Amino acid sequence: MSSATTALLEAPAPEPARKSLSYSSDDIKRMLPHRWPMLMIDRAYDVVPGVSGRGVKSVSVNEPFFAGHYPDHSIMPGVMIVESMAQLVAVVYVAEILEGAAGAAEEDASRSVGYLGSISNMKFSRLVVPGDQLTLEARLGQRLGGLRQVKVRATVGSELAAAGTLVVTTGRKG
**Mind telling me the catalytic residues?**
69
3-state secondary structure 85-103: HHHHHHHHHHHHHHHHCCC
| CB atoms closer than 10 angstroms to residue 174 | 3
Sequence-ordered list of residues with C-beta below 8 angstroms from that of 103, at least 6 positions apart, any chain: none
* φ and ψ of 50, to 5 deg: 75, 0
Task: Say whether 120 sits in a helix, a strand or coil.
Answer: strand
